[in-house]
Amino acid sequence: MSATAAAIERELHTDIPLSLAMGVRVSEASLERVRLSAPLAANLNPHATVFGGSAVALAILASWTLLRLRERAVGSTAALLIQRSSMQYEHPITSAFEALCELRDEEAYERFRRTLERHGRARITLGALIAQDGARRASFEGDFVGLRS
Protein backbone atom coordinates (compact mmCIF):
# COMPACT_ATOMS: atom_id res chain seq x y z
CA MET A 1 0.00 0.00 0.00
CA SER A 2 1.38 3.43 -0.94
CA ALA A 3 1.75 6.24 1.60
CA THR A 4 -1.15 7.99 -0.14
CA ALA A 5 -3.40 4.96 0.12
CA ALA A 6 -2.54 4.56 3.81
CA ALA A 7 -3.35 8.21 4.52
CA ILE A 8 -6.63 8.01 2.60
CA GLU A 9 -7.57 4.85 4.48
CA ARG A 10 -7.03 6.53 7.85
CA GLU A 11 -9.05 9.53 6.72
CA LEU A 12 -11.89 7.35 5.42
CA HIS A 13 -12.09 5.49 8.74
CA THR A 14 -12.28 8.80 10.60
CA ASP A 15 -14.65 10.62 8.26
CA ILE A 16 -17.04 7.72 7.63
CA PRO A 17 -17.02 5.44 10.69
CA LEU A 18 -19.03 2.77 8.86
CA SER A 19 -16.00 2.20 6.60
CA LEU A 20 -14.02 1.16 9.69
CA ALA A 21 -16.83 -1.14 10.86
CA MET A 22 -16.86 -2.70 7.38
CA GLY A 23 -13.09 -3.25 7.54
CA VAL A 24 -12.50 -1.18 4.38
CA ARG A 25 -8.91 -1.04 3.12
CA VAL A 26 -7.60 1.25 0.40
CA SER A 27 -5.66 -0.84 -2.15
CA GLU A 28 -5.13 1.88 -4.76
CA ALA A 29 -5.97 5.55 -4.84
CA SER A 30 -5.05 7.78 -7.75
CA LEU A 31 -6.84 10.40 -9.84
CA GLU A 32 -7.72 7.71 -12.36
CA ARG A 33 -8.60 4.76 -10.18
CA VAL A 34 -9.67 3.90 -6.63
CA ARG A 35 -9.76 0.32 -5.45
CA LEU A 36 -11.13 -0.54 -1.99
CA SER A 37 -11.45 -3.94 -0.37
CA ALA A 38 -13.48 -5.36 2.50
CA PRO A 39 -13.47 -8.72 4.29
CA LEU A 40 -16.40 -11.12 4.33
CA ALA A 41 -16.78 -11.46 8.13
CA ALA A 42 -17.89 -7.89 8.92
CA ASN A 43 -20.16 -7.85 5.88
CA LEU A 44 -21.98 -11.17 6.11
CA ASN A 45 -25.61 -11.90 5.43
CA PRO A 46 -27.36 -15.03 6.79
CA HIS A 47 -26.44 -17.01 3.66
CA ALA A 48 -22.70 -16.66 4.37
CA THR A 49 -22.34 -14.26 1.43
CA VAL A 50 -21.89 -10.49 1.34
CA PHE A 51 -24.80 -8.33 2.54
CA GLY A 52 -26.10 -6.24 -0.38
CA GLY A 53 -25.94 -3.09 1.75
CA SER A 54 -22.22 -3.60 2.31
CA ALA A 55 -21.54 -4.07 -1.40
CA VAL A 56 -23.34 -0.89 -2.43
CA ALA A 57 -21.72 1.04 0.44
CA LEU A 58 -18.25 -0.05 -0.76
CA ALA A 59 -19.08 1.08 -4.32
CA ILE A 60 -20.28 4.47 -3.02
CA LEU A 61 -17.09 4.84 -0.96
CA ALA A 62 -14.85 4.06 -3.96
CA SER A 63 -16.65 6.51 -6.25
CA TRP A 64 -16.80 9.26 -3.64
CA THR A 65 -13.10 8.80 -2.80
CA LEU A 66 -12.11 9.15 -6.46
CA LEU A 67 -14.16 12.34 -6.81
CA ARG A 68 -12.73 13.73 -3.57
CA LEU A 69 -9.14 13.07 -4.75
CA ARG A 70 -9.92 14.84 -8.04
CA GLU A 71 -11.39 17.85 -6.28
CA ARG A 72 -8.49 18.10 -3.85
CA ALA A 73 -6.00 17.95 -6.69
CA VAL A 74 -7.42 21.23 -8.00
CA GLY A 75 -7.69 22.82 -4.55
CA SER A 76 -11.46 22.38 -4.26
CA THR A 77 -13.09 21.68 -0.90
CA ALA A 78 -16.56 21.23 -2.40
CA ALA A 79 -18.97 18.97 -0.51
CA LEU A 80 -19.59 15.83 -2.56
CA LEU A 81 -22.94 14.19 -1.91
CA ILE A 82 -24.62 11.21 -3.47
CA GLN A 83 -27.91 12.00 -5.15
CA ARG A 84 -28.85 8.69 -6.78
CA SER A 85 -27.41 5.20 -6.63
CA SER A 86 -28.25 2.07 -8.54
CA MET A 87 -26.75 -1.35 -8.14
CA GLN A 88 -27.15 -4.61 -10.05
CA TYR A 89 -26.22 -7.65 -8.01
CA GLU A 90 -25.11 -10.29 -10.50
CA HIS A 91 -23.69 -13.12 -8.35
CA PRO A 92 -23.44 -13.76 -4.62
CA ILE A 93 -20.05 -12.87 -3.13
CA THR A 94 -18.55 -15.61 -0.99
CA SER A 95 -15.27 -14.05 0.22
CA ALA A 96 -13.45 -10.74 0.61
CA PHE A 97 -14.47 -8.33 -2.14
CA GLU A 98 -13.38 -5.17 -3.89
CA ALA A 99 -14.91 -2.03 -5.35
CA LEU A 100 -13.15 -0.45 -8.30
CA CYS A 101 -14.00 3.01 -9.58
CA GLU A 102 -12.21 4.35 -12.65
CA LEU A 103 -12.70 7.77 -14.16
CA ARG A 104 -12.99 7.02 -17.84
CA ASP A 105 -14.78 10.10 -19.10
CA GLU A 106 -12.36 12.99 -18.59
CA GLU A 107 -14.68 15.34 -20.46
CA ALA A 108 -17.52 14.62 -18.05
CA TYR A 109 -15.22 15.49 -15.16
CA GLU A 110 -14.08 18.70 -16.89
CA ARG A 111 -17.72 19.72 -17.37
CA PHE A 112 -18.41 18.96 -13.71
CA ARG A 113 -15.40 21.14 -12.73
CA ARG A 114 -16.40 24.08 -14.93
CA THR A 115 -20.04 23.98 -13.81
CA LEU A 116 -19.02 23.77 -10.15
CA GLU A 117 -16.68 26.77 -10.58
CA ARG A 118 -19.27 28.81 -12.43
CA HIS A 119 -22.46 27.95 -10.59
CA GLY A 120 -21.31 26.56 -7.25
CA ARG A 121 -23.13 23.31 -7.97
CA ALA A 122 -22.62 20.49 -10.45
CA ARG A 123 -23.46 16.85 -10.99
CA ILE A 124 -21.48 13.89 -12.28
CA THR A 125 -22.25 10.21 -12.83
CA LEU A 126 -19.64 7.66 -11.78
CA GLY A 127 -19.59 3.91 -12.25
CA ALA A 128 -17.96 1.23 -10.13
CA LEU A 129 -17.64 -2.53 -10.17
CA ILE A 130 -17.74 -4.98 -7.31
CA ALA A 131 -15.44 -7.96 -7.80
CA GLN A 132 -14.37 -11.11 -6.00
CA ASP A 133 -10.98 -12.57 -6.98
CA GLY A 134 -10.97 -10.35 -10.05
CA ALA A 135 -14.40 -11.51 -11.32
CA ARG A 136 -17.31 -9.07 -11.50
CA ARG A 137 -20.09 -9.65 -9.01
CA ALA A 138 -22.08 -6.40 -9.15
CA SER A 139 -22.15 -3.11 -10.99
CA PHE A 140 -22.87 0.30 -9.55
CA GLU A 141 -23.76 3.71 -10.94
CA GLY A 142 -24.12 6.84 -8.86
CA ASP A 143 -24.86 10.53 -9.41
CA PHE A 144 -22.87 12.81 -7.16
CA VAL A 145 -23.48 16.49 -6.57
CA GLY A 146 -20.67 18.89 -5.82
CA LEU A 147 -21.52 21.95 -3.73
CA ARG A 148 -18.95 24.71 -3.38
CA SER A 149 -18.27 25.35 0.29
Q: Which residues bind a second copy (CB under 8 A)?
A: 15-18, 21-22, 41-47, 49, 51-54, 56-58, 60-61, 79, 81-89, 92
3-state secondary structure of 133: coil
To a second copy, the closest distance from the beta carbon of 60 in angstroms equals 5
For a second copy, the closer CB: 58 or 116: 58
Angle at 110 between CA 82 and CA 12, to 5 degrees: 40
For a second copy, the closer CB: 110 or 145: 145
User: Which residue type, as a one-letter code, is found at position 137?
Assistant: R
To a second copy, the closest distance from the beta carbon of 5 in angstroms equals 18
58, 18 in Cβ contact below 8 A?
Answer: no
For a second copy, the closer CB: 29 or 87: 87
To a second copy, the closest distance from the beta carbon of 94 in angstroms equals 13
34, 66 in Cβ contact below 8 A?
Answer: yes
Containing H/E element for 149? none
